[in-house]
Structure 1
Amino acid sequence: MADLFVALPPVTEYNAVIFGKNSNRPASEIQDVIYCPAKDYTAGEKVKCTYVEIDQVTRTHAVILSKPSWMWGAEMGANDQGVAVGNAPVWTKLNGPNDLELKLLGTDIVRLSLERASTAREALEVITQLLASPGQGGPCTNEAGKDGWCFHNSFLMADGTEAWLLETAGTFWVAEKITEGVRNCSNELSIRTKMDLTSPGLVEEAKKLGLYSEDMGDFDFKATFCAQSQIANFPDNNTSFRYRHGKEVMDKIISTGKFRYQDMFKILRDEEGGICMMDGGFITAGSQVSVLLPKSSSSSNVHWFTGTPNPATSIYKPFFFGPGASIGNVTVSPTCEDGAEPKERGHALYQGHKKLCKLMDTQEEKGHCILAQLMELEKNCCEDVDEIIVNYDESSFPKLKQIFQHMATMEINFYV
C-alpha cells in the first residue's frame, strides 16, 4: 500500500521537483534506510534480487533506499544522479495465480531503476525493460499467513526536470509525462486517456482479451484494466477517498502559495485522509521526501527519510550525496549469518521510536513533550537546510556528509 506525490515548477519553492511517498506495509515489517555507494562490476556478473538473479550492469549509481528489512528491493529511494523512484501496489483484471511466480518484485524494480538510471526517463526505460523480462511477480511479504499477497505495480519517478507515472497491468503498461503542477497516485490505476507512452500494441492486446472495443469510446487504461472489486468500492468517479483527498490537499496548497518540501511532510502526516496509516494490519512503515533540482543548478538535491513508522510521530532527517557520504548503521536492522532471527528485531532508531510510541500510550504528557522537542529539532534542521539550498557550494559538503547519521543519533538520544 502506498501514496505517492510530486510537485513541479512553477508551483514549487526553489523551482524544485518535490517527490514524496508513504510506504504502507504489513504492521509486523520493519523498514530500513540503507546507503549503497556507486560500484563497478565485470561483464557477466549477476545480481541476486529478492527471488531471482538477473544480469548485472557494469556500473551502479550510489543510492539511498528505504526498504523492508527482509527483501533486496526498496519501496522508495534516490540516487546520486538526482532521480527519485517509488512504487505503489495496484490491482487489475489481469491479477491471478500466475502473479505468485517468482520474478521481480515491484520493489526490486525500484532499486534496479535507481541503480541504473541517470534521469526519470531512463528510469522508465529500465523499468519497462524489466517488466518485459523477467517481469513482475512473487509474494510481496514474508509475513506468516500472507504468502498469497501479490499485486501489479505503479511507479512514480522524478528528476529535477520532469516526472513520469508508469502504471501496469501484468506485462501491459502506460506512462504519463508530468512537467508542471502537482500529481498523486495511490493503490489504483489513475491514468485514463492521457497516455504519453504505452507498451507495444496495448490497444490491440486489450481488444484480444475482450476488455476493449472501439464502440466503448476512447481507450481508457483505468476503465479497461481496473479490477472490478475496485470499481465497486470506488463509486465516486472510480477513485478512492485517499486518492481524492491527496489531490485536494495538493491543489489547496498551490492555490495559496508555493509548494514547499515541508508541505510534503505535512501531507505524508495526514491521518484524517488515510495517507498516514497507523490502524489495522497495515501501517506507514517509512516515508521519503526528495527535493530535486535541475542539473544546471549550483545547489544540491536533498533527500529526507524518517526510517521509522508513522511520520506523525517521526522526524525527517536529511541526506546529501557526495564524496564520503555515509548514514552509519542506526537504520540498518541486525541480521544473523546463519539466517536465524536476531534477538532484537529492528534497527536502533526503530527500537528507540518504539519506546516513544509506548510512552505516548502510557505516559501521554511525557510522550507528547518528547515529540514536541523532536519536531522542534526537525524545524531547526529545515531552517539550516533551506540556507544550504540557497547558499550551497562544494565547500559546504564536508559538514553534510554524515548529517543523516548525526540527526538519527540525536533522535535516538531523546529515547534513552
Structure 2
Amino acid sequence: MSNGDCFIVLPENCASGSLIVGRNAEDADGQLLGMSTEICYYDPDEVLTGKTDGGAKVETASDTFRVILQKPKLGLWGGDFGANDQGLAVGLTWSSGDAEAKDSDSLLATDLVRLALALCSTAEAAVERLGLMVSSYSQDSFKFNFIVCDSSSGWLVSCSGKLWAAEKVEAPFLRVPSGGLTVGSKIAKSTESLNVDDNFASSQDAEAQAPPEEWCGPKPLADKSYTHYNMFETLRAASRGSSSRGANVSVLNLKSISCHWFTATPNAAESVFKPFVFAPNPKISPLTQVQPEAELTLLHKLHNQKKPAALEHLRSLERSCVDELNNYFSLQDHPSEELDELLKDCVEAEVKFYR
C-alpha cells in the first residue's frame, strides 16, 4: 500500500490563517512503481456506494459530503489521501499487515480514509470516527497511521489491531515520516481500555515507531508567511526520486476557499501541482483516471515521455495559477461555477505540453 511522508503547518505560521498539509506518496517496497495514481471525485449520493477494499459492509448515513480522493492504484474503493467539502483532509502515512486482507470482512486503511471524509465534517469528529471503525473492523495484524486536519487543528492517529490512539499536533509545524506509528505518550483520545500513560507506538511494536526526520525545503517562520507554494517546494525537496509517487497539498481555511492541489504524476520534483476546489458542479479530467484496457492514466503516460523543457514551462504556469487563484480567493468567499472545471482545465493544459 502507498505510504506517505507528510508535513503539517498550523495556522499561526501560514498566510491568510490557513492550515496547510502536504503529502508525498512513497513506495518503499517497490510494489506500486510504474502504477498510476488516480484522482476521483464523489458526490454525496455516490461516496458510499460500492464494495470496500476490506469487504466490510459500508454503513449508510443520511448526511454525507462531497469528496476528492487520491487512489494509489487501480481498482481500489478507498484512497490514501483526500479532502471533503467541509474543509477536512485525511491522509495515510503508513500501513502494515493489510496488503493481503482484501475481502476479509474488515476495513483497510484506504477504506478508512474514504469513510472518514464521507461522514465527518471536522478533524476531531474524523479522529473519533476512525477510532470507532478501527475498534469494529480492524484485524490483529493491521497497523495504520493517519494524519487528520481541518482549518484549525491537525491530529495524528495510530492504530494497532483494534486499539488506537490520537495526538493533537501542538508544534507550529511538523514532519510526519512514513516509517511507522507516530503517536507516543501525548495521547489526547484513544481506545477506552488503553493505558494512556504508556507510549502507544512502543507498547504496540518497538520497531514500528516512526523515526523523527528534519523539515525539508522552506522552513515555516512565526511571521505568518508560509504558503502552499512553499509547501510545493517542501515536497519537492523531500522527494525520494524513483520511489516517490503522487503528491498533494491541501490549504484549509474556515473563512476563505479551501483548495486542494494534486500532481497526479510521480515524483513532485519532476511534476507540477494542479488545483481543485469544491465548486458548485466540479468536473475532473478523465486523464487522471485509468481507462478500460489501459494500465496508466494518460496524464501519467505522457508525463513519462516529457521533454526537459516542458517542466520549465509548466512550472511557470503553476506559479501563474497560484497567483491567479490567490487573487480570486482574496475577492471571493465561495467558489462560483467558473471554477467547476479548474482541475480539468489544468490537467488538459499540462498534457498539451507533453504531446
TM superposition score normalised by structure 2: 0.89
Q: Distance in 2 between matches of 1:29 and 1:97?
A: 16
Please list, as runs of the form range in 1=range in 2, the aligned pairs for 1:11-410 lying within 5 A after superposition.
Answer: 11-25=13-27, 26-39=32-45, 47-54=50-57, 55-67=59-71, 68-90=73-95, 102=104, 103-135=106-138, 152-178=143-169, 181-186=172-177, 187-203=179-195, 219-228=198-207, 240=211, 243-246=212-215, 252-254=219-221, 258-270=225-237, 275-279=238-242, 283-294=243-254, 297=255, 299-335=256-292, 342=293, 344-356=294-306, 367-394=307-334, 397-410=336-349
Deviation at 1:117, TM superposition (A): 0.6
Deviation at 1:58, TM superposition (A): 2.8
Deviation at 1:153, TM superposition (A): 0.8
Q: Distance in 2 between matches of 1:352 and 1:169?
A: 40
**Corresponding residue SS for 2:214:** helix
Query: Which amino acid letter does the alignment assign opposite residue 353 of structure 1?
Result: H
Query: Which amino acid letter does the alignment assign opposite residue 346 of structure 2?
Result: M
Deviation at 1:135, TM superposition (A): 1.5
**Percent of pairs with identical residues:** 28
Counterpart contact for 1:106–1:136, Cα < 8 Å: no
Query: Which amino acid letter does the alignment assign opposite residue 317 of structure 2?
Result: L
Q: Distance in 1 between matches of 2:232 and 2:271?
A: 10
Q: Distance in 2 between matches of 1:46 and 1:35?
A: 13
Cα distance change of structure 1 residues 399 and 75 upon mapping to structure 2, 3 Å threshold: same
Q: Distance in 2 between matches of 1:40 and 1:66?
A: 16
Structure of greater Rg: 1
Q: Distance in 2 between matches of 1:35 and 1:136?
A: 29
Deviation at 1:178, TM superposition (A): 2.5
Deviation at 1:220, TM superposition (A): 1.7
**Corresponding residue SS for 1:325:** coil
Alpha-carbon deviations, 1:218-270, whole Å to 9, x = none?
52223322343x5xxxxxxx753xx4123x657x3326762211121111112
Q: Distance in 2 between matches of 1:16 and 1:411?
A: 27
Unaligned runs of 5+ in 2: none
Counterpart contact for 2:53–2:102, Cα < 8 Å: no
Point out the structure with the larger helix share: 1
Deviation at 1:179, TM superposition (A): 5.4
Deviation at 1:188, TM superposition (A): 2.1
Query: Which amino acid letter does the alignment assign opposite residue 404 of structure 1?
Result: L
TM superposition score normalised by structure 1: 0.77
Q: Distance in 1 between matches of 2:166 and 2:289?
A: 34
Q: Distance in 2 between matches of 1:39 and 1:116?
A: 12
Between Structure 1 and Structure 2, how many residues are aligned? 345
Residue 359 of structure 1: aligned partner? none
Deviation at 1:114, TM superposition (A): 0.4
**Corresponding residue SS for 2:305:** helix
Residue 145 of structure 1: aligned partner? none
Deviation at 1:97, TM superposition (A): 11
Deviation at 1:101, TM superposition (A): 8.0
Query: Which amino acid letter does the alignment assign opposite residue 203 of structure 2?
Result: T
